[in-house]
């Protein structure tokens, strides 16, 4: 099936409030254009250099989401145009995003990445750390970012019970933060779910899924 067909199928299968970030990493600009022509506007990338190159070749109204490990020294390259940085995993990184946003005279939307998986390879704040960021007002020092919600990745496992448990944990944290009254009106995105587990994520309260393979097929290198 075509990329357009896959996007349309995916979107009709979802409740209308769930946003789809099409994860286009390792896929060429021509594929992104095809998705764009099918109406897709949110795209996710995880490498700064690749993202900047694609940004320069594609329409201005794309909302680019950064979803990978972000080194502080590279924030400046994406700060002028990035829509949302989903992978804020330390206050050090948040501080640099805040600083670069100020330089660009804009506010940048961010999601805090929470470590819910078993694997230690995944990044993010622990559930307790994340809760404390709000309860102790630690985020008030960053006026140039908009704290828009949370992002998490479940363990890579066939055990759906475990994956579901991890999604529930993240949803509970998201709700608990909302109940502190310290998160603000913009705190409304819960980014969880990928190609293999988005249905489970949506059933457990995801508002935004990040889907690559299911839209674009297996990842390949971008043609130079």
Window contacting ligand PLP (CB under 6 A); options: 12-20, 49-57, 176-184, 209-217: 209-217
Q: What is the number of other CB atoms lying within 10 angstroms of the CB of residue 107?
A: 15
- Could you give the 3-state DSSP secondary structure of residue 103? helix
Residue 213 contacts ligand PLP per CB under 6 A? yes
Rounded Cα gap, residues 85 and 97, in angstroms: 9
Minimal CB distance residue for ligand PLP? 212
Please say which residue, 24 or 100, places its beta carbon nearer to ligand PLP: 24
DSSP-derived secondary structure letter, 121: T
Which residue in the set 124, 149, 152, 212 belongs to the binding site for ligand PLP (CB under 6 A)? 212
The residues in 39-68 that bind ligand PLP, with binding defined as CB under 6 A, are 46, 67-68
Window contacting ligand PLP (CB under 6 A); options: 69-77, 117-125, 138-146, 208-216: 208-216
Instruction: Assess contact for 183 and 139: CB atoms under 8 A.
Output: no
Query: Could you report how far apart the first and last alpha carbons of the chain are, in Å?
Result: 25
Q: What is the number of other CB atoms lying within 10 angstroms of the CB of residue 93?
A: 20
Which residue in the set 18, 20, 23, 208 belongs to the binding site for ligand PLP (CB under 6 A)? 23
Residue 192 contacts ligand PLP per CB under 6 A? no
Instruction: Assess contact for 181 and 145: CB atoms under 8 A.
Output: no
- Could you give the 3-state DSSP secondary structure of residue 108? strand
Residue 210 contacts ligand PLP per CB under 6 A? yes
Minimum distance of ligand PLP from residue 44's CB (angstroms):
7
Residues that bind ligand PLP (CB under 6 A): 23, 25, 46, 67-68, 153, 194-196, 210-214
């Amino acid at each position: 099936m075509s990329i357009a067909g896959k996007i349309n199928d995916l979107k009709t299968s979802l409740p209308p409030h769930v946003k789809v970030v099409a994860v286009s990493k390792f896929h060429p600009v021509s594929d992104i254009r095809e998705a764009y022509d099918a109406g897709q506007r949110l795209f996710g990338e995880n490498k700064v250099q690749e993202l900047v190159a694609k940004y320069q070749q594609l329409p201005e109204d794309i909302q680019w989401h950064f979803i990978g490990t972000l080194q502080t020294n590279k924030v400046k390259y994406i700060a002028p145009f990035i829509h949302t940085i989903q992978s804020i995993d330390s206050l050090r990184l948040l501080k640099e995003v805040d600083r670069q946003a100020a330089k660009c005279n804009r506010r940048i939307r961010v999601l805090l990445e929470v470590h819910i998986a078993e694997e230690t390879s995944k990044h993010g704040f622990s559930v307790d750390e994340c809760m404390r960021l709000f309860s102790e007002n630690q985020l008030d020092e960053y006026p140039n970012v908009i704290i828009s919600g949370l992002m998490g990745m479940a363990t890579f496992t066939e055990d759906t019970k475990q994956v579901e448990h991890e999604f529930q944990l993240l949803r509970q944290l998201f709700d608990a933060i909302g109940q502190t009254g310290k998160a603000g009106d913009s705190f409304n995105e819960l980014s969880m779910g990928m190609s293999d587990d988005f249905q489970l994520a949506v059933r457990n309260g995801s508002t935004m899924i990040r889907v690559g393979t299911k839209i674009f097929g297996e990842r390949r290198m971008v043609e130079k």
